[in-house]
A and B are shown apart, each in its own frame.
Chain A
Amino acid sequence: MIEGVPLSHILVVSSIMFFVGVYGFVTRKNLLTMLISTELILNAVNINFVAFNRYLYPDKMEGHFFSLFIIAIAAAEAAVAIAIFISLYRNLKSIDVEDVDSLKH
């Protein structure tokens, strides 16, 4: 617990991060930046978990653990995603999301 900083402030920060992530995912055309945006969302979640745990349920460690796992899985996800980006780049010579629309309707 950080003295003088109420939970709500932290939640505001995390929420902003979350929506920035969502916004970034929606607006960015580069696949990598989109991936980074998802990381932003996940980090917002991490802040939430840690903050809730610390402020509301300090006697248990569930939130902390959860955020650790999220970080780990985010890495795995990024690894796979980037691998696929490479595969795509080989085929399309582009990682612009707007070029990735041969499948539609």
Chain B
Amino acid sequence: MPGLEHTILIPLIPFFAFLVIGLLNKTLSPKVAGMIGITGILASTILAYQVALGYFFSFGQVDGVFQKIIAYKTSWLQFTDSLVIEMGAILDPISAMMLVVITTVSSLVFIYSWGYMKGESGFSRFYAFLSLFSFSMLGLVLATNLFQMYMFWELVGVSSYLLIGFYYDKAAAVAASKKAFIVTRFADLGFLIGILLLSFHTGTFDFQLLTDPNGPAITSVGGATFMGLSVVSLSLLLIFIGGAGKSAMFPLHIWLPDAMEGPTPVSALIHAATMVVAGVYLVARLFPVFAFAAPEALEVVAYIGAFTALFAAVVACTQPDIKRVLAYSTMSQIGYMMLALGVSGFGEDGLGYTASMFHLFTHAFFKALLFLGAGSIIHAVHTNDIFKMGGLRKFMPITHITFLIACLAIAGIPPFAGFFSKDEILAAALVSNKLIFGVGFAVAGLTAFYMFRLYFMVFWNEAKIEGAPHESPSVMTIPLIILAIGSLVAGFVPFNELVTSNGSLLATELHWEVAAPSVAIGLIGIVVAMVMYRKASNLPSKLSSSLGGIYKAAYSKFYIDEVYMFVTKKVIFNLISRPIAWFDRNIIDAFMDMTAKMTNLVSEGIKEMQSGQLHYYAIYFASGAILFVVLMLWMR
């Protein structure tokens, strides 16, 4: 669309920053590299705000309905006449919203890292990777078609891989990065096959065509089957596998806790606020197809989301590592978003959709805040283990306050942001599925509990740190403050007007029948946590020993990692790869060698024919001649 082509610059500016820093790595001083990165992302942010605000408040609506606008498009690779990968930028409520989220969090993380990463040897490398990530993530949300999305999806995965493995001489970091990439890659396989399947039947990758309720995608392929299953459901489920991988849904979640090996700002940006919600974004992007053509797939989404929310919340209650607790909490919250999408309907019944997006929006603020706060803490105390912290509120007041705000927000206490979005989610769930509502409700309590467990362990309790940790520099605290403000006000954004499943306004109000109990259970959680962890006591250990097996299982993350290890190391490596390698060497190759050996053997065997004795030669001669006579006479 004319006048909006500059939208494409939003992702491209960080990309150029990446190229410049990457190529001139040697010659640029780290400071300059950092400045380039920060300038780049700030420029993107300004553009993104301009575009997003413009979209929401000036040109986005036609007759009160938000349109999907193709701001820019160029064909990149042509497969067939209709299947074309185009590079472009789509503008619609969710992409505009995501632009805001990503650029905001990114710029804050970029700035925060200036302080956090100070003096690290890979400073400029860090900014290069961060810029690459921002490029990929922005490209992902702006994708106009499935394949473009897949491309950036992969790029995001790689940036995540590079950043998790940032401390590449640490074995744990290397293993974590590898794990993250391979697990998500496995999930992406589902995504890719889903794309292939869907595009084969619809003949297009284009989101606009796919999601058009009257378009060929939804209407014409309903009856088609592939290997006995409805094509649309199957392909959407496969695509959802991709989303589940990236968004760490059970059972593809195992990479996320390990990914905390990366620098904390990375965890904040990638593994809390932006990349991990890509799966939610993907489902939201294809939501009309889900809603119209494959409601059963949507149901799967809901159950997976609900289960993950619960599962991760339980695990989070037991973890000793501050970042891992946050990681499980992220999983749990994303499960919430998935759940919301899963229970949603389209149009009038689209509360879940809006709620999900709303939660995505608010979650980005408070979860980024939590991570950056955790980073600030780790920066000060140099450990991740919450049992080694305590009493930090005196030393780090700003961090303390902002962290508290974030905890309140995630616990769903009004008027913090989390309250509003969580309320809508639970309301949507209540309407559609009681079981899922129950789970969501329980998770709300658990969330409050484990967040405040964390909070009290770190900031109250007794100080176990020797010496006096000090507050982080202002380049780190200012982003915290900004995010804290965001966590306070984000809840008041009128999402029902801006982001809805069909683009038009969704009538909604505060659901007190849901809000009151959920706030109550949140408060209960907080109180329980306060009782147990505010001061040093033996309550927690008593409780854990009384829970016995369940606690142990939760502490060990329900042994999912072990199952994976078994499958990969034992089954794939030892039972498949090794035998194949052996088979190749000792059967197939040996067969080729054997033909050579056989030839040699035959050669050795017939050497007596040439005996050196003249009269034997004559015998061969004569019998040869006679043989041919017989042969020819017989054949005649």
- The reply, when asked whether chain A contacts chain B directly with Cβ atoms under 8 A, is yes
A residues contacting B by CB (< 8 A) are 22, 25-29, 34, 97-98, 100-105
Residue of A at shortest CB range from B622? A22
Interface residue? B58 (CB, 8 A): no
Candidates A26, A103, A104; contact of B615 at CB < 8 Å: A26
Determine if A103 and B619 form an interchain contact, defined as CB atoms under 8 angstroms apart.
Answer: no
Complex Cα gap A61–B611 (Å) = 44
Enumerate chain A residues within 8 angstroms of B613, measured Cβ to Cβ: 97-98, 100-101, 104
- The answer to whether A105 and B607 touch (CB under 8 A), given A22-B622, A26-B622, is yes
Closest residue of B by beta carbon distance from A97: B614
Name A27's contact: one of B607, B611, B615 (CB within 8 Å). B615
- Chain A residues whose C-beta falls within 8 Å of the C-beta of B615 in the assembled complex: 25-29, 34, 97
B611 touches A101 (CB 8 A): yes
20 of the cross-chain contacts (CB-CB < 8 Å) are: A26-B615, A26-B618, A26-B619, A27-B615, A28-B615, A29-B615, A97-B614, A97-B615, A98-B613, A100-B612, A100-B613, A101-B611, A102-B612, A103-B612, A104-B611, A104-B613, A105-B607, A105-B608, A105-B610, A105-B612
B residues in contact (CB < 8 Å) with A: 607-608, 610-615, 618-619, 622
Residues B612 and A104 in contact, CB atoms below 8 Å apart: yes
Residues from chain B with Cβ under 8 Å of A102 in the complex: 612
Instruction: List chain A residues, Cβ under 8 A from B612.
Output: 100-105
How distant is the Cα of A26 from the Cα of B622 in the complex, in angstroms?
9
Q: Which residue of A lies closest to B614 (CB)?
A: A97
Name which residue of chain B comes closest to A29, CB basis.
Answer: B615
Determine the distance from Cα of A102 to Cα of B611 in the docked complex, in whole angstroms: 10
Q: Are B607 and A100 in contact (CB under 8 A)?
A: no
List the A side residues contacting B618 at CB < 8 Å: 22, 25-26
Cα A103 to Cα B612 with chains together (Å): 6
Question: Contacts of A29 on B, CB cut-off 8 Å?
Answer: 615
A100: chain B residues at CB < 8 Å are 612-614
Q: Taking each of B612, B615, B619, B622, which has the highest tally of chain A beta carbons within 10 Å of its own beta carbon?
A: B615
Find out whether the CB atom of B614 lies under 8 angstroms from the CB atom of A34: yes
Query: Among B610, B619, B622, which residue has its beta carbon within 8 angstroms of that of A104?
Result: B610
The CA-CA distance from A19 to B528 in the complex, in Å, is 118
From residue A105, how far is it (CB to closest CB) to chain B in Å? 5
Bound CA–CA A97/B614 (angstroms): 7
Taking CB atoms, residues of chain B closer than 8 Å to A97 are 613-615
Give CA–CA (A27, B616) in the complex, Å: 9
How far is it, in angstroms, between the C-alpha of A101 and the C-alpha of B608 when the chains are bound?
12
Residues of A within 8 A of B614 (CB): 34, 97, 100
For the A-B complex with A26-B615, A100-B613 known, give 10 more contacts whose Cβ atoms are closer than 8 Å: A22-B618, A25-B618, A26-B618, A34-B615, A97-B613, A97-B615, A98-B613, A100-B612, A101-B613, A105-B610
Q: How far is the CB of A94 from chain B (nearest CB, A)?
A: 13
B607 CB → nearest A CB, Å: 5
Contacts of B610 in A (CB 8 A): 104-105
- Residues in A whose Cβ lies below 8 Å from that of B622: 22, 26
| A21 CB to nearest B CB, Å | 10
Q: How far is the CA of A59 from the CA of B444 in the complex (A)?
A: 127
- Distance in angstroms between the alpha carbons of A101 and B619 in the assembled complex: 16
Give A26 to B611 CA distance when docked, in angstroms: 14
**Please, how many angstroms separate the alpha-carbon atoms of A102 and B612 in the complex?**
7
Bound together, the chains give a CA A22 to CA B613 distance in angstroms of 16
Residues of B within 8 A of A27 (CB): 615
Question: In the assembly, what is the distance between CA of A97 and CA of B617, in Å?
Answer: 12
Q: Which residues of B contact A103 (CB under 8 A)?
A: 612
Tell me how far the C-beta of B63 lies from the nearest C-beta in chain A, rounded to whole angstroms.
99
Nearest Cβ in chain A — how far from B346, in angstroms?
88
A27 to chain B, nearest CB (A): 7
For A28, give the chain B residue with the smallest CB separation: B615
A28 contacts across to B, CB distance below 8 A: 615
Residues of the A chain whose Cβ atoms lie less than 8 Å from the Cβ of B607: 105
Provide the residues of chain A in CB contact with B611, threshold 8 Å. 101, 104
Nearest CB of chain B from residue A38's CB, rounded to whole Å: 10
- Taking the closest CB of chain A, its distance from the CB of B106, in whole angstroms, is 81
Chain B residue numbers with a CB within 8 Å of A26 are 615, 618-619, 622
Nearest to A23 among chain B residues (CB) is B622
Minimum C-beta distance from B600 to chain A (A): 14
Cα A30 to Cα B611 in complex, Å, equals 18
Task: List the 10 closest A-B pairs by CB distance, nearest first.
Answer: A104-B612, A101-B612, A105-B607, A26-B615, A26-B618, A97-B614, A25-B618, A101-B613, A105-B610, A26-B619
Closest A residue to B607 using CB positions: A105
CB distance from A30 to the nearest CB of B (A): 11
CA distance A103 to B618 in the complex (A): 16
Interface centre among B608, B610, B611, B614 (most CB of A within 10 A): B614
- A1 to B262 alpha-carbon distance, docked (Å): 115
Docked complex Cα distance between A105 and B618 (Å) = 16
Q: How far is the CA of A102 from the CA of B613 in the complex (A)?
A: 9
- Tell me the complex Cα distance, A105–B603, Å: 10
Q: Which chain B residue shows the least CB distance to A38?
A: B618
Q: In the bound complex, what is the Cα–Cα distance between A101 and B607 (angstroms)?
A: 14
CA distance A25 to B623 in the complex (A): 13
Q: How far is the CA of A98 from the CA of B610 in the complex (A)?
A: 14
Report the minimum CB–CB distance from A77 to chain B (whole Å): 16
A105 surroundings in chain B (CB, below 8 A)? 607-608, 610, 612
Cα–Cα distance between A54 and B622 once the two chains are bound (Å): 29
Identity of the chain A residue whose Cβ is nearest the Cβ of B608 in the assembled complex: A105
Question: How far apart are the CA atoms of A102 and B610 in the complex, in Å?
Answer: 11
Q: CB-CB < 8 A to B608: which residues of A?
A: 105
CA distance A27 to B622 in the complex (A): 13
A98–B607 Cα distance when bound, in Å, is: 18
Q: How far apart sit A4 and B613, CA to CA, in the bound complex (Å)? A: 45
Q: Which residues of B contact A34 (CB under 8 A)?
A: 614-615
A23 smallest CB distance to B (angstroms): 9
Expressed in whole angstroms, the Cα–Cα distance for A58 and B608 within the complex equals 49
